[in-house]
Amino acid sequence: MFWRDGELYRFINDSYGENFKYLVDSGLWERLVGENLIVSHKEVEKYKIYKPDMLDFVSYPYEWSFSALKDAALLTLKIQKISLEHNMTLKDASAYNVQFFGTEPVFIDILSFEKHEEGKPWIAYKQFCQHFMAPLLLMSQGEPGLQSLLLGNIDGIPLDLASKLLPKRTFLNFSVLTHIHFNAAMQKSCRDKSLKNSSNIKLSRNAQVNLLTDMENLIKSLGLKGDKTPWADYYSIKNYDEDSFEHKKGLVREYLGYSDAEKVIDLGANTGIFSKIAGEAGKYVISCDMDFLAVENSYTQLKNENNKKILPLIIDLCAPSPAIGWFCRERASFFERMGRENTVMALALIHHLRISNNVPLNKIAEFFSEISGTLLIEFVPKRDSMTQKLLSAREDIFSDYYKNFFEQEFLKYFAIIKSSRIANSERFLYLMKRK
């Protein structure tokens, strides 16, 4: 990949030229692009230089909801099946080869295809199990939060670890036994031997298709257990009435009209009600929340609506995705990917940052100045019942948490363009521009 005049291009090396020419000439490329399974590219120099369609935002598997990871897995399996029909195969099945346009997954690595050799097993099978099968099973059979293991295992969750963490009842499921437990045992006890003799392993094309179908069926059958987390039903317990809520929606619509930024970052978005308002305003929205079930609910609802303008992600602002990988430059941090010239929405969020997470107001103001050009922020006072709920579990040591001091700290970095009290409440909504 290289940049030229601000545009991103992909160069095809001679070492891959034969496989890439076969990808294009076999009709596989045209089919995958036609079915929106792979990102479209503009041909600059045939078989040599291609310009990919640009993504609205780059996200990573440890930020995706359960259903998003599931859709990425099914996309990868579908592409592998179609590839076999064209006498090709995926040599890579990394979750990082998938990105999203809203809730629509798309494969991005056009150099992951090679000619299929009859009888040769799927070389990316282990990688697929580590990147997709293991985390999905751990999330569905154990604890959804185990998805965070992907952050510490950039090459996927080791299968022996997944085997240890999965409930013993999964040994009774033949598919799980095959793809995780048996696979892990073989790698652990016969690692050297299997590497030496891997060229002797044979798998017919039909057998490989059956294997892919079995993985598809297993993944499709998986779901999250439980339907409650602390904030997944936040809007059902909100403390303002319907008139207040409608007034707040109207203010958000109005304030969004003052921003020319094409991208909105909705922090603390919960199930994404206000993210949708931003999407309706023509913005591309990154809808972030730390509650995995809230993000899951948002993703499934948006997917049912075929929404390609909103991408829900699991992001904890006090422990956001860091830069990881080689030299900490292989995968950029969440805030590096965000940039600065965004519209940021922080609705019903600041009391959590100040009281639940002990972040001083001056640090909160500085933080928002680093990530936003335009800021829509809601101040929730101490008298508010939601703030009182947070304070009920701890001593009130937050003498600086009041409206005038909030404004004083934010005015160091922002100009307040508009502010309005939300009807029938003591909350205020502000529109700010970074100085």
Contact 66, 136 (CB under 8 A): yes
Cβ count within 10 A of residue 206: 9
pLDDT, position 239: 61
Q: Do 252 and 205 share a structural domain?
A: no
Average pLDDT on 359-386 reads 95
| Residue 352 to residue 98: CA distance in whole angstroms | 33
Q: Are residues 163 and 241 in the same domain?
A: no
Q: Are residues 136 and 97 in the same domain?
A: yes
Flag whether 109 is in a domain.
yes
Nearest to 157 by CA among 91, 32, 236, 69: 69
Residues 6+ apart with CB under 8 A from 227: 293
Q: Is the pLDDT of residue 84 over 80?
A: yes
Residue 84 lies inside a defined structural domain of this protein: yes
Distance CA 15, CA 40 (A): 23
CB atoms within 10 A of CB 248: 24
What φ, ψ does residue 418 adopt, rounded to 5°? -150, 155
**Residues 6 or more apart whose Cβ sits within 8 Å of residue 284:** 56, 57, 262, 263, 264, 309, 310, 311
**CA-closest candidate to residue 370, choices 408, 327, 413, 399:** 413
Residue 192 binned pLDDT confidence (cut-offs 50, 70, 90): very low
228 is a domain residue:
no
The whole-number pLDDT of residue 227 equals: 60
Q: What is the mean pLDDT of residues 139-146?
A: 85
Q: Which of 200, 221, 242 is the last residue of a domain?
A: 221
Residue 137, domain extent: 7-221
**Pair (251, 206) in one structural domain:** no
How far apart, in Å, are the Cα atoms of 383 and each of 112, 157, 239, 247, 428? 57, 46, 12, 20, 13
* pLDDT at position 329 over 60: yes
Confidence of residue 425 (pLDDT cuts 50, 70, 90): very high
- Check whether residue 146 and residue 239 sit in a common domain: no
- Considering 198, 221, 244, which residue would you say is the last residue of a domain? 221
**Is the pLDDT score of 199 beyond 90?**
no
Taking the C-alpha atoms of residue 239 and residue 383, their distance in angstroms, rounded to an integer, is: 12
pLDDT average, residue stretch 194-199? 46
pLDDT digits (tens, 9 = 90+) for 258-312: 999 999 999 999 999 999 999 999 999 999 999 999 999 999 999 999 999 999 9
Say yes or no to pLDDT of 191 above 80. Answer: no
* Angle between helices 205-221 and 66-85 in degrees, nearest 10: 160
Q: Is residue 349 part of a domain?
A: yes
Q: What percentage of the chain has pLDDT greater than the value 70?
A: 94
Q: Are 331 and 325 in contact (CB under 8 A)?
A: yes
* Across 88-101, average pLDDT: 97
CATH assignment at residue 310: 3.40.50.150
- Could you write out the three-class secondary structure of 246-278? HHHHHHHHHHHCCCCCCEEEEECCCCCHHHHHH
- The alpha carbon of 421 is separated from its chain's Cα centroid by a whole number of angstroms, namely 34
Reply yes or no on whether the pLDDT at 93 is more than 70: yes
User: What's the number of domains the chain is made of?
Assistant: 2
Per-residue pLDDT, averaged over 173-197, amounts to 76
Q: Are residues 248 and 208 in the same domain?
A: no
Domain boundary among 221, 252, 283: 221
Token couple for 128: 């697929």
> Are residues 214 and 251 located together in one domain of the fold?
no
Residue the block writes with tokens 């965004």? 342
User: Looking at the structure, do residues 199 and 245 belong to the same domain, yes or no?
Assistant: no
In a domain, 42, yes or no: yes
Q: 3 in helix, strand or coil? A: strand
Residue 229 lies in a domain: no
- For residue 257, give both structure tokens: 């009209």
Res 432 pLDDT > 60: yes
Amino acid at residue number 185: A
Identify the pLDDT of residue 360: 96
User: Does 214 lie in the same domain as 238?
Assistant: no
Q: What is the pLDDT of residue 22?
A: 97
Q: Please report whether residue 130 resides in a domain.
A: yes
**Shared domain check, 238 and 168:** no
Same domain, 197 and 106: yes
pLDDT of 230 over the 60 cut:
no
DSSP string of 129-150, one letter each residue: IIIIIHHHHHHHHT-GGGGGHH
70-84, 238-252, 301-315, 380-394: lowest mean pLDDT where? 238-252
Query: Residue 231's Cα: distance from chain center in Å?
Result: 19
DSSP 324: B
Q: Is 226 within a domain? A: no
CA-nearest of 88, 108, 55, 102 to 308 is: 102
Indicate whether 30 pLDDT > 50.
Answer: yes
Residues 54 and 149 in one domain: yes
Residue whose C-alpha is closest to residue 410's, from 344, 356, 339, 355: 344
pLDDT at 236: 53
d(CA 17, CA 48): 8
